[in-house]
Amino acid sequence: MNSLIRERRIWEVASPPDDQLIREIQTALSCSRAFAVVLARRGGNDWERVIDPDSRALHAPSSMSGMDAAVARLMRAVEDNERVFIHGDFDVDGLTGAALLYQGLVPLFLPGRVKVEVGDREHGHGLSQDFVRRATSEGFSLVITVDCGVSNHEEIAALNEAGVNTIITDHHLPLPTLPPACAVIDPQQPTDPYPNKHLAGVGVAYKLLSALYERIGRPASPFPFLDLVALGTIADLVPLADGGEVENRALVREGFSLLTRGEGSSLGLRVLMNRLNVNPKRITATDIGYLIAPKLNAANRAGDPKVAFLLLTTTQLDRAEYLTDILLDYNRDREIAQRDLIAQAEEQIAAEGMDPREDGILFLVGKYWNEGIIGLAASNLAERYRVPTVVISQGDRVSRASCRSVEGFDLGDCLAAHAELLLQFGGHRMAAGFSVRNESLPQLQEDLLRYVAQQRSVTSGPVPREIDTEVTAKDLDLRLYTNLHSLSPYGPGNPHPLFLLRDCAFDELSLVGARRQHVKGKVLQNGHKLPFIAFRMGPHIERFESGSGRSLVFRTRFDDWRGTLQAEAIDLVAD
């Protein structure tokens, strides 16, 4: 089925699972066939675990390499009341991990013995030599990294020489040789037996705190901090599930449960949610990813990341309100800067006669473009033009880039194939970044264009996207929505189920939203009518108006305003 709205997108209904398994699930749960199909596709014969990833999904922290050494060193620091310096990365994953460790360690030390620094874009990701100088000159004896450190060989060696020990907590892929830390906790180590290789940085920090608490006789697991674990895990886009490995999803569910009850370690997070009109009773991964995390990230893009950290850790309501005001001001500045940069990018595309869809890639360079914004611009342009996008901020001698991809193109492989031109690079299939000498930019652009052309020559076109199953309008009710909600949170590794409604028509159409960019109305099929919303499809309203016979790809959502089930349109298709 070809898309009528999303360019170059092809859809297909997935092959149904074994019919006997579907009937077995329907009998056991008294559920609809649609829900049974989704369960069978996600879990196979182990479908019951998909519904409830219980405490058995949480692995013992002690099974992670380096954990015993890290806990022993931390216990010595507690016993001797040493000075401990926590360094977290400046994105939401690093911020939440640093906040978690800080709140968890402070009660174990005398006042003033635990200090936190969160990085900034000026010094880049990870430890800096400036941090090393301050840690040594201020008399700290132990440094703990969060969401960074596994690549900081020189900085950790310098700390060692000054008599400062380091515990690394990270989740990035390490180099063959590890830094000389007293303990390295990173499930990505090739020989690490820990089952969940996809813990976020905050997840690794949580495991360290859990192991420490267990060793000193505190509650077996510091569950109040799972609100921060949920926030950082979703913001960092790590898989919530990977086959039968569902620990991340279990951690996020527990965090959401805390927030639903108005609990958790972060008063500031709850204040921010309230200001953003996020209903804690119905919080979703989408709320985190599209509303909450961007506001926290605005601090490192258009202001001071320490503000986000202070908001996550404050225990005073008036201070939380004040810090939230600052964050929202940062976010407004970020939005203005983002619109300006995208406008400059569009001007460059037009002035240079670029044809991104013909070239297969968008490669843009701007002098001193805001490094905190280029990733957001790359995401916007990649979605708009449906091609991998590289947005580069050119400095005096070195340029830094953020890259975003589209389905079917692996950015990580692409950058690895051009490593000889790059000073540094990192990332994964859909998002990456690199630094490069300015004189290498023309060669890099030429090589990337050639690489994309070669990739296109060996592929037969867009990879079809799968729809879970076909349904009819009469199948759609609140019970189905409730059943589907039991499989949440949705995100990478656990995508939201998609359904197909064939041969339908649309009525009561209107444009809604601040810029009238969304389509709202009713979808009709065989006499049954259901409300629907189509986000950012306002420019395509004529597709909905042009008569019956169209098929709708959608997912279910709850309309809080009316208290009813609603279809969220993903695409219109034609056979």
pLDDT tens string 457-512: 665 566 788 999 999 999 999 999 999 998 989 988 899 999 999 999 999 999 99
Residue 106 burial (10 A CB sphere; 0-12, 13-18, 19+): middle
The answer to whether position 303 is within a domain reads no
> CA 441 → CA 211, 342, 374, 394, 483, distances in Å?
47, 20, 17, 9, 52
Please determine, for residue 560, whether its predicted confidence score (pLDDT) is greater than 80: no
Q: Which pLDDT score is estimated for 110?
A: 94
The answer to whether position 318 is within a domain reads no
Q: Which residues contact 524 (CB under 8 A, 6 or more apart)?
A: 473, 504, 505, 506, 507, 548
The answer to whether position 554 is within a domain reads yes
Average pLDDT over residues 393-406: 93
The answer to whether position 45 is within a domain reads no
The answer to whether position 304 is within a domain reads no
Q: Which residues contact 559 (CB under 8 A, 6 or more apart)?
A: 531, 533, 565, 566
Q: Which pLDDT score is estimated for 55?
A: 63
Q: Is residue 207 a contact partner of residue 185, using CB atoms and an 8 Å limit?
A: yes
- Residues forming a β-bridge with 501: 471, 552
Last residue of a domain, one of 457, 483, 509: 457
Question: Distance (Å, rounded) from C-alpha 545 to C-alpha 551?
Answer: 13
The answer to whether position 381 is within a domain reads yes
Q: Which residues contact 223 (CB under 8 A, 6 or more apart)?
A: 254, 258
Count of alpha carbons within 13 angstroms of residue 545, beta-carbon side: 10
Q: Which residues contact 510 (CB under 8 A, 6 or more apart)?
A: 519, 520, 521
pTM: 0.89
CATH code of 99's domain: 3.90.1640.30
Interval 175-214: pLDDT, tens? 889 999 999 999 999 999 999 999 999 999 999 999 999 9
Q: Which pLDDT score is estimated for 564?
A: 85
Q: Is residue 350 a contact partner of residue 364, using CB atoms and an 8 Å limit?
A: no
**Pair 435, 539 in one domain:** no
**Pair 487, 534 in one domain:** yes
**Pair 202, 108 in one domain:** yes
Q: Is residue 137 a contact partner of residue 106, using CB atoms and an 8 Å limit?
A: no
**Pair 244, 106 in one domain:** yes
**Pair 515, 411 in one domain:** no
Percent of the chain with pLDDT over 90: 76
Q: Which residues contact 41 (CB under 8 A, 6 or more apart)?
A: 14, 17, 468
Range of the domain at 92: 61-248
Mean of all residue pLDDT scores within the chain:
92
Count of alpha carbons within 13 angstroms of residue 532, beta-carbon side: 32
In this structure, the number of other CB atoms found within 10 A of the CB of residue 216 comes to: 13
Please determine, for residue 561, whether its predicted confidence score (pLDDT) is greater than 70: yes
The answer to whether position 366 is within a domain reads yes
Paired tokens of 427: 């990332």
Q: Which pLDDT score is estimated for 412?
A: 84
Last residue of a domain, one of 248, 265, 294: 248
Q: Which pLDDT score is estimated for 505?
A: 92
Percent of the chain with pLDDT over 70: 98
Interval 436-458: pLDDT, tens? 999 999 999 999 999 999 887 66
Tally of domains in the chain: 3
**Pair 541, 410 in one domain:** no
CATH code of 400's domain: 3.10.310.30
Backbone φ/ψ region at 255: left (φ over 0), alpha (ψ -120 to 50), beta: alpha
Please determine, for residue 399, whether its predicted confidence score (pLDDT) is greater than 80: yes
Nearest to 172 by CA among 135, 145, 193, 195: 145
**Pair 66, 99 in one domain:** yes
Interval 139-188: pLDDT, tens? 999 999 999 999 899 999 999 999 999 999 999 888 889 999 999 999 99
CATH code of 520's domain: 2.40.50.460
Q: Which pLDDT score is estimated for 7?
A: 67
**Pair 97, 219 in one domain:** yes
**Pair 93, 219 in one domain:** yes
Average pLDDT over residues 560-569: 87
Paired tokens of 506: 């649309």
Query: Which position has the token pair 């859990």?
Result: 210
Please determine, for residue 30, whether its predicted confidence score (pLDDT) is greater than 70: yes
**Pair 408, 503 in one domain:** no
Average pLDDT over residues 246-254: 94
Please determine, for residue 248, whether its predicted confidence score (pLDDT) is greater than 60: yes
The answer to whether position 123 is within a domain reads yes
Last residue of a domain, one of 408, 434, 457: 457
**Pair 419, 551 in one domain:** no
**Pair 17, 117 in one domain:** no
Average pLDDT over residues 48-54: 78
Nearest to 228 by CA among 263, 200, 264: 264
